[in-house]
Amino acid sequence: MTKPILVIKFGSASITHKNGELDEVVMVDIARQVAAIHADHHIVLVSSGAVAAGKKFVKNYSGTITERKAAAAVGNPILLNKYAQFFAPYGISIAQSLCERQHFSNRDQFLQLKKTYEDLWANNIIPIANENDVVSNLELKFSDNDELATLIAVGFGASVLLFSTSVPGVLDAEGLVVKEMPVIDKDELALANKEKSALGLGGMVSKLTFARLATRMGIKVVIFGIRTTDGILQAIEGKTGTLCHPQKCSIPARKKWLASGSLVTGSLQADSGACKALQNGHSLLAVGVKAINTKFESGEVFEIVDENNLSVAVARARVSSDEIWIDVKTQKLIIAHADDIVLL
């Protein structure tokens, strides 16, 4: 791929009015700005708004799972038709990409998805991704489209990930925009307003959580206000919103997929000695395990948290959690080999 990959995520609150109707003024401006940078980037748009656009067609809509699926089924073509209409004046075609969690947790399916996007880019087509709400299994759903955008960005090796919001960026205690975040840790996560928008599933907590993952995978992230003049163009340059700096990252593509795309099924807590050993590139041994938080099977991916319950790594298990016994006989049992551990 000769062009840098750019992923832009638009939430429901970004592209709809409070009543749920699509905000065509905003969508027209999105098309204008994206068209201006299209020639220089391979672009993926991750757009919410299908449920919001379709729910008025569902009688007595109350937000149940089946009603959301029905609303999405109606709203998806409405949403895509609007994007197609607004990109047409620029000679840009768009494609719909309805994704499910399994497309990322299964590496073969993920690689097929990546190849499809590469073919679309080769034909100057912009894929617009959204979760396939109509058929997605409740237990295997993306947490929200912030996660979907991050999985695409990390898995495809994007250089920049933009999160558009209905506010101008991450706000501090005084309500001022935090211009930049060299790192995202617990202090930065504490800034997030835990209130969710009326239209979307996510919020600033979600955006900062996934921005933390993306930046640790070497991706520049900007959280910005969609109604800022030339917001997309300014955000790419880091001139508006909150710029989250990319961290140095040299891990191979497979490990990036393991850290982001693989489906985490379990969790364990490691002691300080084990966490330090992981930082130094060692395997995880049973002797360093303090507690099993959520069970997992051999071959599954699990999360490793430290003594403060902060996530430090993900790993592919060599043994099931039921085989981990903290005693003399199994102290040197390898729970996960260094080659299958990704630090977060």
Check whether 72 has a pLDDT greater than 50.
Answer: yes
- Statement: residue 324 has pLDDT above 70: yes
Q: Domain spanning 263-343: which superfamily?
A: PUA domain (2.30.130.10)
C-alpha span between 272 and 103 (Å, rounded):
35
Question: What are the sequence ranges of the domains in the chain?
Answer: 5-244, 263-343
For the chain, the 3-state helix, strand and coil shares in percent, each to the nearest 5, are 40, 25, 35
140 band by pLDDT with thresholds 50, 70 and 90: very low
- Residue for token digits 């959520």? 294
Name the pTM for this structure.
Answer: 0.79
Q: Which of 287, 165, 309 is nearest to 226 (CA)?
A: 165
Average pLDDT on 4-16 reads 93
State which of 20-24, 182-186, 235-239 shows the largest mean pLDDT. Answer: 235-239
Identical fold between 5-244 and 263-343: no
Task: Tell me the C-alpha distance between 310 and 165, whole Å.
Answer: 26
| Class of the CATH domain delimited by 5-244 | alpha beta
Q: What is the pLDDT of residues 187-221, one digit of tens each?
A: 787 777 544 444 444 478 888 888 988 998 899 99
Cβ contacts of 122 within 8 Å, gap of 6 or more: none
Measure the CA dihedral 132/127/210/140, to 10°.
20
pLDDT tops 50 at residue 158: yes
| Per-residue model confidence as pLDDT tens digits over 213-233 | 899 889 999 999 999 999 999
**Looking up tokens 């960005």, which residue turns up?**
153
What would the two tokens of residue 182 be?
A: 């060299």
> Hey, which residues does 294 pair with through a beta bridge?
267
d(CA 68, CA 120): 29
3-state secondary structure 243-257: EECCCCCCCCHHHHH
Burial class (CB in 10 A: 0-12, 13-18, 19+), 70: buried
* pLDDT averaged over every residue in the chain: 87
Whole-number pLDDT of residue 237: 94
